[in-house]
Amino acid sequence: MLQDDGATARVPAPWAEPVPTALLVLADGMVIEGFGIGQTGIADGEVCFNTAMTGYQEILTDPSYSGQIVTFTFPHIGNTGTNDEDLESLADAPASGVRGTVVASAVTNPSNWRSSRHLDAWLKARGIVGITGVDTRALTALIRDNGMINAVIANDPDGSFDRDALKARAAALAPMEGLDLVPPVTSTQASDWSQTAWDVKVGYGSRAAGQGLKVVAIDYGVKRNILRLLAQAGCDVTVVPATTSAEAIMAMKPDGVFLSNGPGDPAATGHYAVPVIRALLDERVPTFGICLGHQLMGLALGGRTVKMAQGHHGANHPVKDKTTGKVEIVSMNHGFAVDPASLPATAVETHVSLFDGSNCGLTLTDRPAFSVQHHPEASPGPRDSHYLFERFVALMRAGKPETVSPPSP
């Protein structure tokens, strides 16, 4: 066979190595070859690894992963397919914070009664670039030893790549420090939430509004299951954009305020979020924060946050509740942590990671507020941390016990 320039094209022998159709190019110049899945094209971000064995669809739609490329340490991703229910991003549009994904094994045909679409088709629909055939254990070890690194992920069915250009693009990427990634994932307007937790017999439930505790959830990239468990606990939930003022929130007469999870550097988001949180704390509104919300509360108290080497990403992290002595198996997703030494004496550490001793929770002694770094709405334990929603409800009820109906069973 002849090409246009007259050169003879080589036909690969049956035993020849297949041509790579995807590349992961790290900022240090390392090029990892593989095979494309999902959206064709190029995406970039910070590479992290996630150790969960299940829940890949929830992970890939978690807005907290905005600006990141997720490497799964579990090799068999996609074998249960995807569906239209296990989404965590609040927006229904085909958008996700995840820039790309790295998988070890080729994706097989789905085998699950709830599956409605192959992972490859689902990734294409959501615009997520993926690569398979990667030694994810080696990549994970690299991140473990050297920290999370920026990279470019490219998918081309023809295997045609400008490697020098990809290396230059990866090297030029801005670090996660200083990036406010909340604006693309927050709500654009206030909305009410009524969906409750999943039941295998009926699916997701719903509760009527108007007789529960009024909770205003500030959306920094909130996950749906957090809102479901708030509703399940008997709360009338209103979700508001991340830039909503303290005055607008107080005008809603909330019984409590929830500070959601989200992506990016908390110090960057804190430029507009911290003054609002401080004002709400000064109003003594019962407040509960998760993940980024926990970090922002720490900043509002005068503390500081630090960038972690590889962060915590997985569904098998042991965290100790120092108030009860119990150890919980929790889900985590964060690359920054609150420095407990920077907090005032009125902020008491309540939870700690048993992996590295990092701070995972705090409560205030002078105001009705607490927060945790992990995700109590997830189900790794499976319900080890659901008591935190009950704790929040009890904190709100303490202020108005005579007017609040009990939560749904």
Question: Which residue numbers are catalytic?
Answer: 291, 375, 377
Token pair, residue 273, equals 């979020």
Contact indicator for 46, 35 with CB cutoff of 8 Å = no
Strand partners, 113: none
Report the candidate in 285, 288, 297 with the shortest Cα–Cα distance to residue 399: 285
Please give the Cα distance from 117 to 81 (Å, whole number): 6
Q: How far is CA 220 from the centre of its chain?
A: 11
| Residue 62: closest CA among 334, 276, 305, 273 | 334
Report CA torsion sign: 34, 37, 43, 44. Answer: negative
Cβ-in-10-Å burial (0-12, 13-18, 19+) of 40 comes to middle
* Residue 43 host element (H or E): strand 41-50
